[in-house]
Amino acid sequence: MALSRFLAAVIAGVMLIGLPAQADEIQDINLQFRKGELSAALDHANRYLAGKPKDAQALFLKGLILGDLGKTNDAIEVFRSLTENYPELPEPYNNLAVLYAAQGRYELARNALELAIRTHPDYVTAHENLGDIYAKMAALEYGRVLTLDSGNQTAQARLKLINGMLGGQAVKPAVARPASGATPGR
């Protein structure tokens, strides 16, 4: 029994040595990000990406970090690049849509979400966000109707219903974050 434990420990050690060190670096970047150490996480991500510029997981984290730092246009570029280089991944499309929606660019958000759903039809977050985008777009249209005809009772009632559904606030779609242990493909 002692020999088999020893062998298991040796095999586990060899397997860990064989794993790329970058997995630890990605985990460190993610940990910094989750702790709110955004500047440090961005610096760490940039250093890592200098050596592995096409690493989808690190780029995804960088996009999340940039978004949280309020660097929306930079985050959009990261997620747009991810959708071009890894079109099979739905998360970058979803996060791109979230950023577009925050800018009021609802058509672009809708298009990005439809692409996310096309790549992964069961991606619940993208479906939910698409529903929110459609609701926001409907609210904007009913608002236009009321600008043209302020007495339109139907438009008033529908706008009230949609605003109630949206909580009376602008749409803030859910941001896709990789689940613990889940990673976008590399």
Which pLDDT band holds residue 175 (cuts at 50, 70, 90)?
low
Last-in-domain residue among 36, 63, 86:
86
Q: Say which residues have a Cβ less than 8 Å from residue 129's Cβ, sequence separation at least 6.
A: 94, 97, 98, 101, 109, 113, 173, 174
Last residue of a domain, one of 86, 102, 134: 86
The mean pLDDT of the chain is: 84
The DSSP element (H or E) to which 171 belongs, if any, is: none
Tell me: pLDDT of 164 over 80: yes
**Domain harbouring 131, CATH code:** 1.25.40
Are residues 73 and 104 part of one domain? Answer: no
pLDDT value at residue 127: 97
Q: How does DSSP classify residue 167?
A: T
Cβ atoms of 91 and 173 closer than 8 Å: no
Structure-model confidence comparison of residues 17 and 153, the more confident one: 153
* Spatial CA neighbour of 106 closest among 79, 75, 82, 136: 136
List of residues 6+ apart from 127 with CB closer than 8 A = 117
Q: Is residue 171 within 8 Å of 133, Cβ to Cβ?
A: yes
Q: Given pLDDT bands bounded at 50, 70 and 90, which one contains residue 92? A: very high
- Return the CATH number at 46: 1.25.40.10
Could you tell me which residues come within 8 angstroms of residue 25 by beta carbon, excluding any fewer than 6 positions away? 44, 48, 58
Domains identified in the chain, total number: 2
**Residue span of the structural domain in which 61 resides:** 25-86
Question: What is d(CA 182, CA 178) in angstroms, rounded to the nearest whole number?
Answer: 6
Q: pTM for this structure?
A: 0.77
CA 100 to centroid of chain Cα atoms: 12
Q: Does 104 share its domain with 167?
A: yes
What is the tens place of the pLDDT at every residue in 6-61? 333 333 333 333 335 557 999 999 999 999 999 999 999 999 999 999 999 999 99
What is the rounded average pLDDT of the residues 152-176?
A: 77
